[in-house]
């Protein structure tokens, strides 16, 4: 039998209660719960802000423009979620792990699912542009034991801040992308180039909002990882360059202290030759990942 709807009429004081009361017969209990919370928080914010009619219309038009800007390639609402910190908050709630396990951060829009798999030590920079870099480390369990056969899917922007999919015909396909698998000792290593910071799309309503708020649209330099093996919680994460000028003000709040690596400049000619470079220096980045068991 349907619940009897409340008989109270809408007033400024009881607005949220009257609205959620109309949802009494919702068939989806989770939706009912979610709308109860959203409605109460939204009405509380409106009562606190007391927007004018003109301001409320500006808000509606902002959301309308955000929708118009979205298509199969670009999702302006996800961008809005990102710059408000909501994407990172939802990710944090859904990737809680034991202390010491590697932390997640945002996936980003430029992952490619069919990147080639390479033997350890391969250089994933296919155009030879940028400062040489070696990335190495181990994948361990929470007890410190090495894990073999871990799939490491890695990708990054180039030294100008662009991914290959953003520069079709300029960068080679699958430039700065690759898949590797750890050995018996849990180790991995590959060669690449030092990445650079870049701007999120700033030519739409979200970019205009950031400008109005006095915020920049940049993300600090980083490498992306998806680290996976059956029986372990998959990690989608980055490692960040600590010397990047935006390391403390990531526009999408993806930086976590545990994900900041050391980028060490190596000028020793023997070490340069040992890793197969022929320049005057390279950047050495060592970073371990800790996987938690899948619950």
pLDDT digits (tens, 9 = 90+) for 116-160: 999 999 999 999 999 999 999 999 999 999 999 999 999 999 999
Model confidence pTM above 0.85: yes
Could you tell me if residue 208 is inside a domain? no
**pLDDT band at 4; cut points 50, 70, 90:** low
> At which residue do the structure tokens 């023997």 appear?
270
**Taking residues 30-38, what's their average pLDDT?**
98
Quote the pLDDT of residue 34.
98
Could you tell me if residue 36 is inside a domain? yes
CATH number of the domain bearing residue 103: 2.60.130.10
In which domain, by residue range, is 32 found? 1-50
Residues 248-284 have pLDDT tens digits of 999 999 999 999 999 999 999 999 999 999 999 999 9
Whether 35 and 172 map to the same domain: the answer is no
**Taking residues 162-176, what's their average pLDDT?**
96
Quote the pLDDT of residue 247.
98
Whether 282 and 191 map to the same domain: the answer is yes
Name the average pLDDT for the chain.
96
Contact 181, 127 (CB under 8 A): no
Q: For the chain, how many structural domains are there in total?
A: 2
Q: What radius of gyration, in Å, describes the C-alpha atoms of the chain?
A: 24
Could you tell me if residue 71 is inside a domain? no
Give the dihedral sign, CA 135/139/143/148: negative
Q: What percent of the chain has pLDDT over 90?
A: 95
Whether 34 and 110 map to the same domain: the answer is no
Neighbours of 161 (CB within 10 A): 15
* 152 strand-pairing partners: 180, 227
Length of the chain: 295
Quote the pLDDT of residue 8.
82
> At which residue do the structure tokens 């040489």 appear?
132
Give the distance from CA 180 to its chain's centroid: 21
What's the rounded Cα separation, in Å, for the pair 211 and 208? 5
Quote the pLDDT of residue 294.
92
Q: Check residue 102 and give left, alpha or beta (phi > 0: left; psi -120 to 50: alpha).
A: beta
Residues 179-210 have pLDDT tens digits of 999 999 999 999 999 999 999 999 999 999 99
Contact 92, 237 (CB under 8 A): no
Give Cα separations from 193 to 45, 108, 156, 173, 201 (angstroms): 46, 20, 9, 16, 23
DSSP strand E in 158-209: where? Answer: 177-181, 187-193, 198-199
């Amino acid at each position: 039998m349907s619940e009897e709807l409340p008989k109270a009429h809408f007033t400024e004081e009881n607005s949220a209660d009257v609205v959620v009361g109309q949802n009494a017969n919702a068939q989806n209990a989770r939706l009912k719960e979610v709308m109860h919370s959203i409605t109460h928080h939204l009405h509380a914010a409106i009562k606190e802000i007391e927007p004018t009619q003109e301001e409320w219309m500006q808000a509606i038009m902002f959301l309308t423009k955000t929708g118009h800007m979205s298509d199969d390639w670009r999702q302006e609402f996800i961008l809005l979620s990102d710059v408000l910190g909501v994407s990172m908050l939802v990710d944090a709630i859904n990737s809680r792990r034991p202390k010491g396990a590697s932390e997640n951060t945002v996936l980003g829009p430029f992952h490619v699912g069919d990147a080639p798999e390479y033997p350890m030590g391969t250089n994933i920079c296919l155009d030879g542009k940028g400062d040489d870099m070696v990335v190495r480390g181990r994948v361990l369990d929470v007890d410190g034991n090495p894990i073999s056969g871990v799939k490491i899917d890695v990708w990054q922007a180039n030294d100008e801040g662009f991914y290959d999919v953003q520069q079709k015909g300029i960068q080679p396909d699958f430039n700065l992308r690759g898949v590797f698998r750890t050995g018996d000792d849990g180790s991995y290593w590959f060669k690449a180039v030092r990445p650079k910071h870049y701007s999120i799309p700033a030519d739409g309503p979200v970019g205009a909002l950031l400008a109005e708020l006095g915020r920049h649209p940049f993300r600090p330099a980083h490498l992306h990882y998806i680290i996976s093996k059956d029986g372990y919680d998959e990690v989608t994460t980055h490692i960040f360059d600590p010397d990047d000028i935006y390391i403390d003000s990531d526009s999408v709040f993806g930086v976590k202290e545990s994900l900041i690596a050391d980028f060490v400049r190596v000028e020793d000619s023997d070490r340069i030759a040992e890793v197969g470079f022929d320049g005057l220096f390279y950047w050495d980045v060592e970073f371990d990942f800790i996987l938690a068991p899948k619950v």
